[in-house]
Amino acid sequence: MLVYALPGTFETREDHLDLLWEAGATGLEERAGLIRAYFDTEVDLPAQIRDGQWQNEADQDWLAAFKANLRPVRAGRVTIVPPWLRTEVESGQLPLVIEPGMAFGTGHHATTRMAVEALGNLDLQGKRVLDVGTGSGVLAIAAALLGAAQAAGVDIDPITIPIARENAQENGVPEGRTVFVEGTLGDELPEQAGDEEFDVLVANLYAELHDLLAAEYVAHLRPGGPLVLTGILTSKLGMVQDALNREGFSGIQVREDGEWVLVTASAPAQQ
Ligand code: SAM
């Protein structure tokens, strides 16, 4: 089996995945900070993705190996597990079952973990929560399990929507408590996402997008409503803080995990 292993970074990941497909990869996977692209033969690659290494590897069942290595992830009051580890959740912890698959959000990334933990620190009882960039639906589902009356997840990537819906079902979240729609803020969001203000907004995107969307966060949050942002590299924290100050957010707090940051703040009291 011929593999091209390329160091992956969060910011370039989507471009690199596209370039590898265009170069003729027959399959892609991400593991231990590397993008692994499967090819039938060695090919010339564009300059942006020439940092990797070609390697011949013995055939093995990677999926089985990947699944065997997954462990439950504890995020505050919640433990995120794949379906086959459901029984390993310690008593007193809230199980959140996510099938690892094509959409980002198994809980194994620091940003997802910090966001779930931050949601667990809020009083979500009866609240409406908006999750921007929902991926596997993990944050919206966490919000529903933590008591939110409704959690809407939006994502520009259409493949995530059925995956998020299946994960909600797997967690026994009643239909209607979570709603997943394709789109983003600034679009005319479909009616089922609800176009009124939300009580809480959570978004695991990246710093540049938070900067671009900061005014939309204000427009979609009730005055004073909590904002939870992550996907931010420590080196880009200043950009997000500036955007939040510019839009009148207050009480900005920062939590770090390795190179990743989570920022919480409150929407302006009056809009
Ligand atoms: N919420 C999940 C989590 O916390 O693990 C997934 C986060 S993943 C890092 C980011 C997701 O945002 C991807 O599914 C991607 O398709 C989506 N996304 C990227 N740009 C977006 C945008 N402008 N609006 C909405 N979703 C976006």
Residue range 159-173: average pLDDT?
96
Amino acid at residue number 102:
M
The reply to whether 41 and 170 lie within a common domain is: no
The reply to whether 54 and 71 lie within a common domain is: no
Mean pLDDT taken over the chain: 92
Show which of 59, 90, 107 is a domain's final residue: 59
For the CA of 134, the closest atom of ligand 1 is 1
From start to end of 51-93, where are the E strands?
A: 53-56, 73-75, 78-81
Is the beta carbon of 106 within 6 A of some atom in ligand 1? no
Is the beta carbon of 160 within 6 A of some atom in ligand 1? yes
Rounded (10°) angle between helices 138-145 and 160-170 = 30
Is the beta carbon of 110 within 6 A of some atom in ligand 1? no
For the CA of 135, the closest atom of ligand 1 is 14
Residue range 127-138: average pLDDT?
97
pTM of the model: 0.80
Question: How confident is the model at residue 167, as a pLDDT?
Answer: 97
The reply to whether 50 and 73 lie within a common domain is: no
Query: Is the confidence at residue 271, as pLDDT, over 90?
Result: no
Q: Is residue 204 a known part of a binding site?
A: yes
The reply to whether 132 and 211 lie within a common domain is: yes
User: Which 8-state DSSP code applies to residue 90?
Assistant: P
* Residue 56 CB partners (closer than 8 Å, separation 6+): 1, 2, 3
Question: Into how many domains does the chain fold?
Answer: 2
Q: List pLDDT tens digits, range 216-267.
A: 999 999 999 999 999 999 999 999 999 999 999 999 999 999 999 999 999 9
Is the beta carbon of 137 within 6 A of some atom in ligand 1? no
Q: Is residue 224 a known part of a binding site?
A: no
Which residues partner with 185 through β-bridges?
A: 187
The reply to whether 27 and 141 lie within a common domain is: no
Banded model confidence at residue 163, pLDDT cuts 50, 70, 90:
very high
The reply to whether 138 and 49 lie within a common domain is: no
The C-alpha atoms of residue 107 and residue 235 are separated, in whole angstroms, by 23
Q: List pLDDT tens digits, range 99-119.
A: 988 778 888 899 999 999 999
Residue range 146-161: average pLDDT?
96
Query: Is the confidence at residue 195, as pLDDT, over 70?
Result: no
- Give residue 119's domain range: 64-267
Query: Is the confidence at residue 133, as pLDDT, over 70?
Result: yes
Of 166, 144, 52, nearest to 99 by C-alpha is 166
The reply to whether 41 and 96 lie within a common domain is: no
The reply to whether 92 and 189 lie within a common domain is: yes
Is the beta carbon of 155 within 6 A of some atom in ligand 1? yes
